[in-house]
Structure 1
């Protein structure tokens, strides 16, 4: 079908009122009282602002007159030198400069060695695959069989502190190896 050359369908005639007039919107009456009130308020505001601003102009135009002092009645003022700076009466400034503070830092108690387990697998091939991914990050891990050889755990460590284990765990997380847990284990 050719839509470009198609003719328009014939238009229907609108139905008219019984009197034959078209539908017209009802005319609204303008509230003249509101219009007059708005004009009066605007004029009052303009005259008020003009009165305020003209009041400042009148004050600025009047020069201030300062009465002149008689020259012979007052004695001449002589400029006295400034008094010397008083001595500081605080002693703590010198005491703090020469004070040495002694702090007792207790020795950090080392807990049990930390081990980090990064995976536990049923097949040794999966455990070897994770161990190879860890080795690519420059870390050494071991595979320990558990439950009579049915599970293979991939373990890093032992670490003396948890902070050392956290450093390695963040290195593995940057390499997208997640799920490593730090435990207080002894092998």
Structure 2
């Protein structure tokens, strides 16, 4: 079926309806619903007045009581002196100021010396190039041949603690020299 070229169906006119008489066409008001709505509104208003706590007919506040005192009695106001500041009951403040604390700190055991290897190359020229870049950062490195002079390692150290080796490794990382590893080696 060709939907693009089809014609629209003709509009049908609705059939004429019979008119009802005027008396039936007017709706009658449901008086029961109206009475119920009025009762609900009255109950709501009464409930709000009850919650407010009083009659809303009394719009004027009660008159303040007049003072029966004579002006001479109210003018005499005697200020009592403040009580003295109590002394401190705590003595720990003075005790702590003069107290010395002794702490036993065991000596740190130093492990084997640490070496940091920053590269391993087949050509000695590449190892010397990395050694020069490390020397520009103020650190001293050495090139060690291994495997019958077929590999050349660039090594820094020895370091007594790993913290010293880490400090130098971070310095090299800031200079964009990455790949340095810290080992527990002994040469």
TM-score bracket relative to the smaller structure: 0.5 to 0.7
SS in 2 for 1:168: helix
Change (3 A) 1:87 1:146: same
Correspondence for 1:67 among 54, 65, 87: 65
1:161 is aligned to: 161
Change (3 A) 1:137 1:62: farther
Measured in 2, the distance between the counterparts of 1:69 and 1:84 equals 36
Structure 2 stretches lacking a partner, 5+ long: 12-40
2:112 is aligned to: 112
Structure 1 stretches lacking a partner, 5+ long: 1-11, 22-43
1:130-184 Cα distance to aligned partner (Å, 9 max, x none): 2122122222111111222222111011112211111111111112111100111
- Rg comparison, structure with higher value: 2
Measured in 1, the distance between the counterparts of 2:174 and 2:62 equals 78
Change (3 A) 1:62 1:115: farther
SS in 1 for 2:149: coil
Q: TM-score, normalised by structure 2?
A: 0.62
Change (3 A) 1:111 1:65: farther
1:88-130 Cα distance to aligned partner (Å, 9 max, x none): 1111111112212222333332222111001112222221222
2:138 is aligned to: 138
2:8 is aligned to: 16
How many residues matched? 143
Aligned CA RMSD, in angstroms, stands at 3.4
2:124 is aligned to: 124
1:102 is aligned to: 102
Q: TM-score, normalised by structure 1?
A: 0.62
**Matching of residues 7-46 of structure 1 within 5 Å:** 15-17=7-9, 20-21=10-11
